[in-house]
Amino acid sequence: MRSSVSPAPARFTDLGIRIAGVCTVLAVFELTARTGLLPRAWFPPISEMYLELGKLAFGWPLWVEIGRTLSGWALGIGLAAVLAIPLGIALGTNNLAYRLSKAVIEFLRPVPSVALIPLAVLVYGTGLEMKTFLIAFATFWPILLQTIYGVQGVDPVAMDTARCYGLPQSARFTQIIAPSAAPFIATGLRIASAIALVLAITAELVVGAPGLGQAIIVAQSGANATRMYALIIVAGLLGWALNSCFQFVERRLLRWHPAQRGEEGR
Amino acid sequence: MTRRIGYLLLPAILPIAVLLGYGIWSIPAQNFYFPPLPEIIGFFRDIWLFDRIGSDLVPSLARMLSAYAISIGLGVPIGLALGFSRLLRTACEPVVEFLRALPAPALIPFALLIFGAGNGSKLFVIVLGAIWPILLNSLDGARGVDRTQLDMARSYQVPRLARLRHIVLPAASPRIFAGMRTSLAIALILMVVSEMVASSHGLGYFVLQAQRSFAIPEMWTGIILLGILGFLLNAIFLRIENRVLFWHRAVTRKRPTKARSEATDA
């Protein structure tokens, strides 16, 4: 968005520089593989990876795998959001409840979620439920904390004014709390999206739940290095696409918010 | 007085209640997956005091901390360099965005091929996941340095290194620390994940192995230890941050630095 304020010619130069940067990196990888700096069996030239990627993209299986990974991702985040946002609002508005639960939150939040993989496998098996549970647990915390911060950060003057004018509770919520906490919750969801993808891929890699991660392992054990790299590239593109989507939606929906406007004006 | 003590004790009530509740429920329940609390504690003592500390905990921690150090050592200078050079920043942006979005566990097969199953591949995976918050926050920190200060220092011919040491680093350090805190959580997660795949020791290996051999109480001790580890690392980090950035906290009280939205603490 930064480029949106610069005049058109500068934007074109920027685009040129970006393309040049990408091309340089790709060329370096291509050369290391072609000259044998990295053994070719382990690291094929990047052009071959993209050829393989192109072939995969026209086949059905790749999209099925992506769909499997994304379904765990979506279910997990959805579940976490449904639980964390109301709880966060409750804890953010009620100081007593916040103090009561603070220690539990502070202790559970830094627990590395991947440590729960074995437990999740025991209880839920290796399917979609396991993935959903893991992702929901891991993404619950960032969403909860961001919601609490957002609600606690509501301008007290605005709240007091509303109370003085006798605004009913529901109106205070929809008119003041919800709008001012919304950007925080959006950030929480964006953070959650990245975490969820990492966990989905991890669960598929480690446990063998069906999805992109498992496909990567299968390609690796089948000594199909080119396909493995193509799939890794897919994973990166997927993460990038999800992140961009969230950023785009955030900008659109929260255009009115000062934080967003500040970012655009920079 | 009693009110104050009650207020201070408030956060402890819920954790104690949860532990007690689990203890009371688990003994008669005899659930296979959720063994009684005394049994878990007994196993914890047997295993982690101090039988497997040297064989599992120390190597894990050493790997994690050295990878974390590498991430800081690379991330801060690169981030500052990108922050100061518009050309470099624009050229690297797409590549950085892609690598950042790439879920680090997807690179485990790649790391195994290139570095083998030893420490190298684990360090690589941890660094490649943990470096981004540090790098991006350093970048933002460098961009946020007061231009007037820099120009003035330049016109007084303050040497480059002194400018870096006395102007850039102090101005950027709150952001850098925010990134480092995020990275710490990521490093811990990736430590566990990297040990779950192709490893013969370490905490992640221990937990997964315990689950696969249905040694449920042992598995729980591993999970609990990882939780304690996450909690302790976070607490230590906060102490260090408070000490190093005391001037910042004092100046801008009540305005804690918000980590860049990449804050992916899970």
Contact of B125 with B116, CB cutoff 8 Å: no
Question: CB distance A110–B210 less than 8 Å?
Answer: no
In chain A, which stretches have pLDDT less than 70? Answer: 1-9, 257-266
Q: Please identify among residues 106-165 of chain B the ones whose CB lies closer than 8 Å to any CB of chain A.
A: 106-110, 112-114, 129
Q: Is the preceding peptide bond at B50 cis, omega within 30 degrees of 0?
A: yes
Q: Which domains does chain B have, with CATH numbers?
A: 38-251 (1.10.3720.10)
Mean pLDDT of B16-45: 83
Q: Does B196 touch chain A (CB under 8 A)?
A: yes
- Buried-exposed string A113-142: b where 16+ CB fall within 10 A, e elsewhere: bbbbbbbbbbebebebebbbbbbbbbbbbb
Backbone angles phi, psi at A186, to 5 degrees: -60, -45
Residue A29 CA to residue A26 CA, distance in Å, equals 5
Q: Which of B64-78, B152-166, B192-206, B215-229 has the highest mean pLDDT?
A: B64-78
List, for residues B234-259, the tens digit of each pLDDT value. Answer: 889 989 988 888 877 655 544 444 44
The three-state secondary structure class of A213 is helix
Integer angstrom CA distances of residue B150 from A78, B85, B144, B251: 47, 14, 11, 21
Question: CB distance A191–B261 less than 8 Å?
Answer: yes
Mean pLDDT of B148-157: 88
Residue A150 CA to residue A66 CA, distance in Å, equals 33
Question: CB distance A194–B264 less than 8 Å?
Answer: yes
| pLDDT for the residue numbered A70 | 92
Question: CB distance B204–A114 less than 8 Å?
Answer: yes
List, for residues B69-87, the tens digit of each pLDDT value. Answer: 999 999 999 999 998 888 8
ipTM of predicted assembly, 2 dp:
0.79
Question: CB distance A142–B263 less than 8 Å?
Answer: yes
Burial category of B80 from C-beta neighbours within 10 Å (exposed 0-12, middle 13-18, buried 19 and up):
buried
Residues from chain B that touch A229, judged by Cβ atoms under 8 A, are: 110
Nearest to A25 among B95, B108, B196 (CB): B95
Burial category of B63 from C-beta neighbours within 10 Å (exposed 0-12, middle 13-18, buried 19 and up):
buried
Nearest to B226 among A24, A111, A195 (CB): A111
**What number of other Cβ atoms are within 10 A of residue B118's Cβ?**
11
Residues from chain B that touch A72, judged by Cβ atoms under 8 A, are: none
Shortest Cα–Cα distance, A36 to chain B (Å): 13
| pLDDT for the residue numbered B1 | 57
| pLDDT for the residue numbered A85 | 93
Q: Does B94 touch chain A (CB under 8 A)?
A: yes
| pLDDT for the residue numbered A144 | 93
Mean pLDDT of B117-143: 90
Mutate to test the interface with A, among B82, B95, B113 (most CBs of A within 10 A): B113
Question: CB distance B223–A116 less than 8 Å?
Answer: yes
| pLDDT for the residue numbered A260 | 58
Backbone angles phi, psi at B257, to 5 degrees: -65, 125
Question: CB distance A110–B265 less than 8 Å?
Answer: yes
- Of all residues in chain B, what percent carry a pLDDT higher than 70? 91
| pLDDT for the residue numbered B260 | 43
Is CATH 1.10.3720.10 the right assignment for the domain spanning A44-265?
yes
Shortest Cα–Cα distance, B166 to chain A (Å): 25
Q: Where are the domains of chain A?
A: 1-41, 44-265
